[in-house]
Amino acid sequence: MNSQALVKIRTGKPFIGTWLSIGSPVIAELASASGFDWLLFDLEHGAHSEAVLMNNLQAIKGSAAAAIVRVGAPHPDLILRALDWGSAGIMVPHVESAAEAASCLQAMHYPPRGRRGISRSARVYEYGLRAMPAAADLPAPALFAQIETLRAVENVNDIAAVEGVDVLFVGPADLAFDLSVRRIGDDGAYDDCLDKVAAAAHAAGKQAGILVRSLENIPVLRSRGFTHFAVESDIGILRSRYQQVLKATRELCG
């Protein structure tokens, strides 16, 4: 676990990452070498699986990038393995209440705060070559709680107040969809939700983050108070570039 990265996660300075969905250690290594502050390994919708997660985490060893693993659901066994393998933090989708956030933290922390099991030979402790820190010195893993529904926005102040929640991270596609099916999906409602998330984060001394598909949106999001960005994804970057190359080539070929 990168302790310096954990410090950066908890500051209000811009924290720039990218979304990794393909599951390739080569792409993870390239992204970390490119200088991103953090990388999101997506086990919810991406092609990542537990079988390839370890290899991806190994590929970025020694880099300054913080590894954040998005689990598909807050299953304690998966959270435990991601942290034991070296993830600096966990992103949990569809957190809708303070109780749900607290339950996630139970899985992430050792006793007495939580129920995470102890293995001194886990990768995070160099397979037993590095002593496990004393309980008082253990770095707390970061929790990115995803705000993706109207119910989550309604409870966002309570979620932000939970000790151990570091980042309120908006899932824009899910939030926009949830608003639309409730027939309140106009731009004003969505923007109002963004403002509520950012305000709740700042009031609680936490950070507000969001996935960004277009770089043009960043200045507005910064003005709203967002600091933690996942910019594009490996699939999106490849898809866009492939389309650009093919279009240009066809035009040149006549």
Q: Which of 45, 75, 202, 228 is catalytic?
A: 45
Residue that is written with structure tokens 């997660």 in the block: 53
19: which 2 tokens? 């979304």
Residue 230: strand pairing partners: 17, 211
Residue that is written with structure tokens 């409602």 in the block: 189
79: which 2 tokens? 């959270």
Query: What is the torsion angle, in degrees rounded to the nearest 10, for the CA atoms of residue 208, residue 222, residue 22 and residue 1?
Result: -50
18 touches 208 (CB < 8 A): no
87 touches 68 (CB < 8 A): yes
For residues 227 and 98, give the distance between their C-alpha atoms in angstroms, rounded to a whole number: 22
Alpha carbon 16 to chain centroid, angstroms: 11
DSSP state, 231? E
Does 202 participate in catalysis according to the annotation? no
Mind telling me the catalytic residues? 45
